[in-house]
Amino acid sequence: MAPPLNSTLFYNMAHSEFAYLDLLAEFQDLEHAIAQWRDHLPDFPAAGQLRTLVDRLLDRVGQLRLRIESPLVVATLGGTGTGKSSLVNALVGSEVATPGRQRPTTRIPTLICRPDISPEQLGISPDKVQLVHRDLPMLRDLVLLDCPDPDTTEDPSESGSNLARLHELLPHCDVLLVTTTQQKYRSFRVAEELTAAASGARLVFVQTHADQDDDIREDWRRVLDAHYNVGEMFYVDCLSALADARQGVYQGEFARLVEHLTRELSGTAAKRIRRANFVDLLQETLARCQQRCQEWLPAVQRLQLALQEQRHRLAQSLVRRLQQELTADRREWERRLLSELAARWGASPFAWVLRAYLGLGGLVLWAALLRSRSPAQMILWGSVEAGRVWRRRHRARRAAEAGARISQLAWGKHELREAATIVAGYARDAGMRRVPSWAQGDAHLEGLQAEAAAAVEAFSARAAQDVSRLVERMVDANRGWLLRGPLELLLVAMVGLLGFRLARNFFYESWLATPRQPVLGLDFYVTAGLWLVVWCGLLVWLLSAWLRRGLKRRVNELSEGWAREHHLGRLFAAHEEYCRAVQGSVQELERLQARVEELRQQLEVPPRLGHRYPVPAASG
């Protein structure tokens, strides 16, 4: 009978597998997000470099994905004569790579692997390497690659050169055995190649020629500590190690190196190392992208600041002119406010006075028409009515012309040209390539004027809404009895006084008084009516003066709000869109970097393998 399945072990294995699948899904989603970020980059000078960096990253990621189940590629990297090939021979236990002093500088790299492994499985072209098969325990979980020397005088762009072959092979490497000697550990050329190769790879540092050189590992560590997490370092005599390995004996530092590689690179280490390399590669590439963006971001921020300053200056000029227009047309304001108050106050006596005042011109003309008895009187009435209609139409036309002046001629060409020149200068500094036609000279200034007209049209639409709300607030503030009560009381008092005078004359003085007084005649009614009209006019004037005072204060407050808050968003719209696109790309890049950092926190990174520190993010 089969033994019972250990449920805890099964759960742990399943949980680990699901976590691994989730991590792969997160990697793929992150790749897609980075590709989208690349595709939506704005057209600015760094965009080409950023796309190249991301394309290289995605290519490397594709290679890592293809090799996710294949053995680790462990490559040697070091200067000429540092014992790379000798170290490979010692690890294999036989002379499979020709040492440097017995070979020319230019050579084909050597790939050592099990018989069941082919270069194609590792993403390496077979014609780029010399293939050596060995069935050894050391090669169970890895393959060894003896790389060309980086410190040559060859042109790296020349096809077939050592550096060209090295640059083709390094992206396929998962772990680098970095070799050096007492004479070579400060080589600038090797350090430069190591900096480029270390992105997306784990590192093991080995000092060779232990039979000849002093131990310089501590000094070498101090040289590397600024940019690398060094991990363990080894001090090996490769020739002695090869002799021992041929006899199946491992001792000293070489035995420690073999044990280190066997422990850290065996079993499930391949997946862990490749995931860690992938995250390192992401961090390195995104950090370099951010550095490129930060080179242009200050200029873009200065352009945005210049846009805000020029818009604010032009907005203040527009607000001053609009304020002048609003305060100049005081009579229309008063008529509108009085009309609204009359409607809110209903059928009260003073409300009827306001309606009579607002319609006084029409009443007089209609009364004149009714009393017309001759053609001359009809012509006179017609001329007066025609003049009234003409004045009304003239006011409407003047208002329309004022609106046109505000929307089309809010600023002169000199003001627009000055603002355009300043903005165009900052746009050139910010690397803006697609500039509007008006930035090419005064001959194309009509385009800017069209932008200005659109900006002011939007401004005017908002101003109209604000003015309507202003009228509503003023009417609401003055509709109560605190203002209305005294006016109604004064009007009723005047009417009551006149009524009392008429009633006293008719009922007492003409009937009961001795001697009797005659009933007041038409001249009294005319005089009383005149004084009543004057009294009503005085009350209307007091109300208008009160409204005018509040109106002036509120219009000034409204204008200050316009000048403080409005920045003519449709003016220089292309430049604003450019700034937003660049800053949006930088912000999205920062979000991608944060996601990569979260991934790093989830990873189980081999602690004893070295790696390069991520490039620090540039501050904005």
What is the C-alpha separation between 279 and 61, in angstroms, rounded? 10
CATH code where residue 179 lies: 3.40.50.300
**Number of domains, the chain:** 2
Is omega for the bond preceding 515 within 30 degrees of 0, making it cis?
yes
Q: What is the mean pLDDT of residues 432-458?
A: 66
Q: Which residues are 303's β-sheet partners?
A: none
The answer to whether residues 88 and 207 belong to one domain is yes
Residue 610 or 607, more confident? 610
Q: Look at residue 168 and tell me if it is in a domain.
A: yes
User: Per the domain annotation, does 594 fall within a domain?
Assistant: no
Q: What is the pLDDT of residue 14?
A: 45
Tell the residue number behind the tokens 């609003």, with chain if given.
Answer: 326
The larger pLDDT score, comparing residue 448 to residue 508, is at 508
Percent of the chain with pLDDT over 90: 14
Q: Of 245, 267, 289, which marks where a domain is finished? A: 267
What are the structure tokens assigned to 324, written together?
């002048």
> Are 383 and 515 in a shared domain?
yes
Do 191 and 313 fall into the same domain? Answer: no
| Local structure of residue 610 (DSSP, 8 states) | B
Average pLDDT of the residues of the chain? 78
Check whether residue 255 and residue 385 sit in a common domain: no
Give me the half-sphere count of Cα atoms (radius 13 Å) on the Cβ side of residue 418. Answer: 10
Are 308 and 179 in the same domain? Answer: no
Query: Does the pLDDT at position 9 exceed 80?
Result: no
Alpha-carbon dihedral angle through residues 493, 496, 500, 506, given to the nearest 10 degrees: 150
Model confidence over 259-301: pLDDT tens digits? 888 888 877 777 778 788 888 888 888 988 999 998 889 999 9
320 & 445 share domain = yes
Instruction: Note whether 461 and 514 are same-domain residues.
Output: yes
Percentage above 70 pLDDT, the chain: 77
Q: What is the pLDDT of residue 10?
A: 42
- Same domain? For 443 and 487 the reply is yes
Domain span including residue 155: 71-267
- Cβ-Cβ contacts under 8 Å for 246 (sequence gap 6 or more): 93, 94
Q: Is residue 445 part of a domain?
A: yes
Stretch 515-541: mean pLDDT, rounded?
A: 87
Q: Is the dihedral of CA 399, 404, 410, 412 positive or negative?
A: negative
Phi, psi of 269 (to 5 degrees): -65, -30
Q: What tens digit of pLDDT does each residue of 378-389 get? A: 444 454 455 555
Choice among 22-31, 115-124, 440-449, 563-572 with the minimum mean pLDDT: 440-449
Phi-psi sector, 133: left (phi>0), alpha (psi -120 to 50), beta: beta
What's the pLDDT at 371? 57
Q: Is the pLDDT of residue 106 over 50?
A: no
CB 264 within 8 A of CB 256: no
Confidence of residue 370 (pLDDT cuts 50, 70, 90): low
> In this predicted structure, what is the pLDDT of residue 538?
92
pLDDT digits (tens, 9 = 90+) for 21-39: 666 677 788 888 999 999 9
Task: Please name the helix (run of DSSP H) or strand (run of DSSP E) that holds residue 264, with its range, or none.
Answer: helix 252-264
Average pLDDT of 598-617? 72
Q: Same structural domain for residues 242 and 383?
A: no
Amino acid letter, 409: L
Q: How far apart are CA 332 and CA 388, in angstroms?
A: 15
Cα–Cα distance, 536 to 492 (Å, whole number): 10
> In sequence order, which residues have a C-beta less than 8 Å from that of residue 117 and are 6 or more positions away?
70, 71, 143
In a domain, 604, yes or no: no
Is the domain of 206 the same as that of 321? no
Task: Give yes or no for a contact between 237 and 215, defined as CB atoms under 8 angstroms apart.
Answer: no
- Write the single-letter amino acid at 474: M
Residue 342 lies in a domain: yes
pLDDT at 395: 54
User: Do 260 and 375 sit in the same domain of this protein?
Assistant: no
Give the H/E segment covering residue 592.
helix 573-602
548-571 average pLDDT score: 73
- Does a structural domain hold residue 614? no
Structure tokens at 573: 């719209």
How many CB atoms within 10 Å of residue 536? 22
Determine contact, residues 197/606, Cβ cutoff 8 Å.
no
224 shares its domain with 319: no
Q: Is the pLDDT at 400 greater than 50, yes or no?
A: no
Which residues, in sequence order, are CB contacts of 528 under 8 Å at separation 6+?
498, 501, 502
pLDDT at 105 over 60: no
pLDDT at 324: 73
Residue 133: φ, ψ to 5°: -100, 135
Q: What is the pLDDT of residues 158-169, one digit of tens each?
A: 666 777 888 888
Q: In the numeric block, which tokens belong to residue 113?
A: 């692997």
Spatial contact of 495 and 533, defined as CB atoms under 8 Å apart: no
**Is 113's pLDDT higher than 70?**
yes
Mean pLDDT of all residues in 374-403: 51
- H or E element, residue 233: strand 233-235
User: What is the residue type of 204?
Assistant: V
As a whole number of angstroms, the longest Cα–Cα distance in the chain is 160
Contact in structure between 284 and 200 (CB atoms under 8 Å) = yes
